[in-house]
Amino acid sequence: MTTFGAARLVSETMRFDLRVSELPAPRPDEQILLGEETFLIQGEPLRDRERLIWTIEATPA
């Protein structure tokens, strides 16, 4: 749930923490395949302090 002005928006979003060694350069609008499910990356992925883990927000594709 996100607040935007006086409105509240609800969207189905997943958050993934992935090692940089597994996914070196994720970009918005790229897809992640997890088992038989596909997710679309939303926004810019963020790295942790040690720059070892990406935090990625995605929606079902």
Tens of pLDDT, residue by residue over 42-52, are: 999 999 999 99
* pTM reported for the whole predicted model: 0.76
Question: Does the pLDDT value for residue 8 go beyond 80?
Answer: no
pLDDT at 3: 67
Q: Which residues contact 24 (CB under 8 A, 6 or more apart)?
A: none
